[in-house]
Amino acid sequence: MTATTATAGLNRPGTWLRRRTGGLAPSGWAAVAVLAIVVLISFVGPYLIHTDPNAVDLSSAYYAPSAAHPFGQDASGRDILARLIFGGRTALIGPFLVVAASTVVGTVLALAAVWFGGWFDAVVVRVIDAIFAFPGLLLAILATALFGAGLPAAIVALSISYIPYIARVVRSAALRERSLPYVAALRVQGVRGSMISLRHILPNVASLIVANATLAFGFALIDLAALSFIGLGVQPPTADWGAMVGQGMAGILQQQPAESIYASVLIVITVGAANLLGDRLTERSEARA
């Protein structure tokens, strides 16, 4: 009864945010800020600017920055700033879909493998290892060769090849969690395995999942940008950072590197921030485990 008063304060409503986000290092918060700005510009920006990113004006190819075109114009005279903003949307949605799909599938697969154990677990582990053996980019190139160049095939292929990254981490964490006494206590209460997995084990490994999904987001962005760079991903004239780096290559030879450089810098900043945040989140979840 004495513990009543001492611990009562922990339940103040105002501490919810702190409880959920506590323990994140300052560099992690910086990464959050950078990502928030990138996402905001990419998704709100297109509604704020009135320049058509696909408006071709061959007479003003490679024009230097001006009041109307602050970042200059590309080989076809299109506004680089507008293309960077619209391209951000494409560049971010792709990896987001990849991460969402592979995280959901990987997590469910891992939780099921841990719960059922035995031969099912063995099969899942082997399949995961087999997928691991294929470089994701190679699988994506194969998929685009089979189903035609474009974002959808690349996203599906990358989603599959990213499943192991999530599934492995979730499996090992869930395995540890499953052996804890509280799981035995739930089983003896007659709680279904699916319930224990989803309502008890999953929340306890959630922080690890978020951390790894964040890391995977950075890798997926690079992979998709690389695919678009070699022309197998996003197809012209749709604006995309990876595609812009590729299209800007011609300009580099003509002393006009602006388009490639701007797009590259945005990719580096976004991926760097995602990796940094992913690392900080991993450290945080490990500190708690």
Partner 1 sequence: MSALLEVEGLNVHLPVDGSLRRVLHDVSFTLEAGKALGLVGESGSGKSMTVRTIARLLPQGAKVDGHIRFDGTDVFDLRSEALRRYRSGDVSMIFQDPRSHTNPVRRIGDFLTEAMRINGKVPAREASRRAIDLLAEVGIHDGERRMRQYPHELSGGLLQRVMIAASVAVRPRLILADEPTTALDVTTQAEVMGILGRLQREYGMAMLFITHDLELAAASCDETIVLYAGGIVERQQSKRLHDDPLHPYTAALVQARPDIDHTTGRLPAIPGNPTSAYEAPDGCAFAPRCRFAQDRCRQAFPPLLTIDGIGASRCLRTDELRGTLLAGATTEEVTQ
Residues within the interface to partner 1 (CB under 8 A): 1-4, 7-8, 10-11, 117-118, 180-182, 184-192, 195, 199-200, 203-204
The alpha carbons of the chain give a radius of gyration, in whole angstroms, of 23
What minimum distance in Å lies between the beta carbon of 170 and partner 1? 16
Distance CA 224, CA 153 (A): 11
For the beta carbon of residue 204, count every other beta carbon within 10 angstroms. 17
- Between 202 and 252, whose beta carbon lies closer to partner 1? 202
Exposed / middle / buried, residue 132 (Cβ in 10 Å: 0-12, 13-18, 19+): middle
Contact 220, 207 (CB under 8 A): no
- Between 166 and 183, whose beta carbon lies closer to partner 1? 183
What minimum distance in Å lies between the beta carbon of 279 and partner 1? 23
What minimum distance in Å lies between the beta carbon of 201 and partner 1? 9
Contact 225, 91 (CB under 8 A): yes
Distance CA 260, CA 191 (A): 56
CA-closest candidate to residue 55, choices 231, 235, 234, 237: 237
- Between 186 and 230, whose beta carbon lies closer to partner 1? 186
Distance CA 269, CA 103 (A): 23
- Between 130 and 185, whose beta carbon lies closer to partner 1? 185
- Between 126 and 192, whose beta carbon lies closer to partner 1? 192
Distance CA 155, CA 251 (A): 29
Q: Which residues have CB under 8 Å from 150's CB, separation 6+?
A: 144, 233, 234, 235
What minimum distance in Å lies between the beta carbon of 3 and partner 1? 4
Q: Which residues have CB under 8 Å from 77's CB, separation 6+?
A: 56, 57, 58, 59, 60, 61, 63
- Between 26 and 118, whose beta carbon lies closer to partner 1? 118
Distance CA 289, CA 277 (A): 18
What minimum distance in Å lies between the beta carbon of 10 and partner 1? 6
3-class secondary-structure state, position 73: strand
What minimum distance in Å lies between the beta carbon of 188 and partner 1? 5
What minimum distance in Å lies between the beta carbon of 36 and partner 1? 27
Contact 205, 251 (CB under 8 A): no
What minimum distance in Å lies between the beta carbon of 8 and partner 1? 8
- Between 147 and 182, whose beta carbon lies closer to partner 1? 182
- Between 16 and 29, whose beta carbon lies closer to partner 1? 16
Task: Tell me which DSSP letter residue 79 carries.
Answer: B
